[in-house]
Structure 1
């Protein structure tokens, strides 16, 4: 880990509640995973086109991330999108334009790379909603997310390991969806390390 990286550690209930602008997503049960749906890339493409149009005057980059971006992976039917902007902490530079599309700011984490999540429901067939993760250009988390995605796309063994981990954890009961996400951190970290070693 470089000196500029901020490790993502499991969040306490208080931290989860503080980061969410509304009520955090409670599960109080198991996670329902769907088999890979070939409609997911199309759902991403539709959202990316809308965001691209709204943010045409802002320097930005849009990437499909998360499990729906990896063919063959089971996932929740939620499209995770990474939006890279000059300054994710500068909400007025992007949030009003996205709110016009129906996005709503859901998560604000100033201590963790000024990470923001905006969410939009009703996005069409194949997916329930979009989680739009906003981070600043140059943030090391951008590279981690993309390296993880690309490793899973090209490496059968790590993709199968991650799929098995997701299925096993989904069978357990969780208070918050964030708790389920945090439980995958060790396996995700190992996959990212192997990707970095391969690229070195």
Structure 2
């Protein structure tokens, strides 16, 4: 599998906003953030909108999954062993909706990483260079590509939280 990166698209924030409105219509008290590479102006990315949704208890799927399914999302992944993460997806536009509970440390890490990339050109360039190099390879799964970014992500998160 080949990973296709796109140059930053100024339409991405608007796509996030459209999805945000859709999610809030389904879950009026939703706590949402645009995360991932499409949330960082100037950064090349897979054209996929990553959204962070924080719910009172990510294990309580009955409290949020039916409303999101009704809104058009599909529950694709349960990871109770990794921060009780849930992943829902949609394809128009392509969206990954990451669901966590409020006390989850991954929420803080995702936000710190995004904010650091938005404000630090050196870290943004380092991350993009790694992404571009990894995108030249063939991958069995998208997760393998994501795992390939782990070292650079960890370094940037440490600087962001340091």
Normalised by the length of structure 1, the TM-score is: 0.80
Contact 1:65 1:82 (C-alpha < 8 Å) held by counterparts: yes
C-alpha displacement of 1:77: 0.6
Cα distance in 1 for partners of 2:14, 2:47 equals 13
1:95 to 61, 65, 69: 65
Query: What is the count of residue pairs matched by the alignment?
Result: 162
Cα distance in 1 for partners of 2:46, 2:103 equals 29
1:156 to 121, 142, 152: 121
2:79 to 97, 109, 114: 109
Cα distance in 2 for partners of 1:144, 1:51 equals 23
1:65 to 18, 23, 35: 35
In structure 2, stretches of 5+ residues that fail to align are: none
Cα distance in 2 for partners of 1:101, 1:172 equals 36
In structure 1, stretches of 5+ residues that fail to align are: 1-26, 124-128
2:13 to 24, 37, 41: 41
Normalised by the length of structure 2, the TM-score is: 0.98
What aligned pairs does 1:73-92 form with structure 2 within 5 A after superposition?
A: 73-92=43-62
2:155 to 182, 190, 200: 190
Relative to its length, the structure with more helix (as a share) is 2
CA-atom RMSD in angstroms: 0.8
- 1:52 equivalent in alignment to 2:24: yes
Runs of 4+ off more than 3 Å: none
- The residue number in structure 2 matching 1:24 is none
| Cα shift readout 1:88-123 (whole Å, capped 9, x = no counterpart) | 111110000011111000111011111000001123
Q: Give the number of the structure whose alpha-carbon radius of gyration is greater.
A: 1
Cα distance in 1 for partners of 2:39, 2:57 equals 25
